[in-house]
A = this chain, B = another copy of it.
Amino acid sequence: MHTVAFLQNKIKNALDLLKFERKPAELYLPIQFALSQGGKRIRPLLTLMACDMFDGDIEKSLNPAIGLEIFHNFTLLHDDIMDQSPIRRGRETVYKKWNANIALLSGDTMFAIAFEYLIKTDPDYLSDILQVFNQTAIEVCEGQQYDMNFETATVVSITDYMEMIRLKTAVLIAACLKIGALIARTSPANIDNIHLFGLNLGIAFQLQDDVLDVFSDENKFGKRTGNDIATNKKTYLYLKALELANKEQLRDLHQYFTVSGLDENDKINKVTEIYNQLGIKEVAENEMKIYYKKAISCLEAIDVEKARKQNFIDFADSLMQRES
């Protein structure tokens, strides 16, 4: 077993070594830029951690892990075009720094490079990990499409929303773990359980994102709170508030989320006030805890000695207690 810090360091070194010196520079500079913007590098870490828990050779999981991180960053590049986002991780997006065409084509290239790294491993399980990866890539696209649909949909149910975050966020988390487990050649039952652990943890993670966006301490959050409210995002908090609101609150919520030209800070304060009146933070946190507990019970069901699970228990706890 390795420490998380050791695995993180392996990923950092591998990412630092990536060099995109091919031509044309117009294509590769944005890729280099996108991949050097940091981020938590959670996905490749999960691949290495899963491989390590099942006593697999982490060296064999490193290239696929890097491929998964490149894939994740490809999706961010394209999401930023679709959402016209100027800022990510405190810096300009490729879309803003260059333009939409560059972000589009550099993104496509990153998708191909992600595959290149994914297949740099033993041919024995190549077919298995590619099937997981392909299926996941398709589902992530489906999740993003649902997310876009929700922007203009008049009615979005909480069931719809949960399905969207499952596809957009959780399946990739789960796939990273499953691929690490496949490389370690553990049992089918263990592979299923680590996959379900990831799905549930991913959903909990996204629900917490929704809570943090409104209720975090701005100094610790690192960016302005209330952005989801400002941009009329139909998050779990908003959809749950619609469900629980009285007539007056419902009218106000509807108005704040549809009328344009309102003072942004005022809107954020007023909507947050309604959320507070309805106890939305607690409702969301309870929902999050349900998924967190499901995740932990899947982890418990995995057939390896308890000590080998400690990294994942610590990791899940740190995710749940994060403030940004």
Q: Could you tell me if B130 and A27 are in contact, using CB atoms closer than 8 angstroms?
A: no
Q: A109 contacts which of B24, B113, B141 (Cβ < 8 Å)?
A: B141
Instruction: Digitize A88-131: 1 where CB-to-B-CB distance is under 8 Å, 0 elsewhere.
Output: 00000000000011001101110111011001000100110011
Most buried by B among A24, A116, A137: A24
Q: Could you tell me if B134 and A112 are in contact, using CB atoms closer than 8 angstroms?
A: yes
Most buried by B among A23, A107, A115, A146: A115
For chain A, give the interface size range.
35 or more
Q: Could you tell me if A27 and B112 are in contact, using CB atoms closer than 8 angstroms?
A: no
Residues from chain B with Cβ under 8 Å of A134 in the complex: 112-113, 115-116, 119
A149 within 8 A of B: yes
A255 within 8 A of B: no
Q: Could you tell me if B105 and A104 are in contact, using CB atoms closer than 8 angstroms?
A: no
Q: Could you tell me if A141 and B112 are in contact, using CB atoms closer than 8 angstroms?
A: yes
Q: Could you tell me if A141 and B105 are in contact, using CB atoms closer than 8 angstroms?
A: yes
Known contacts A138-B113, A141-B109, A149 near B24 by CB under 8 Å: yes
Q: A142 contacts which of B24, B101, B135 (Cβ < 8 Å)?
A: B24
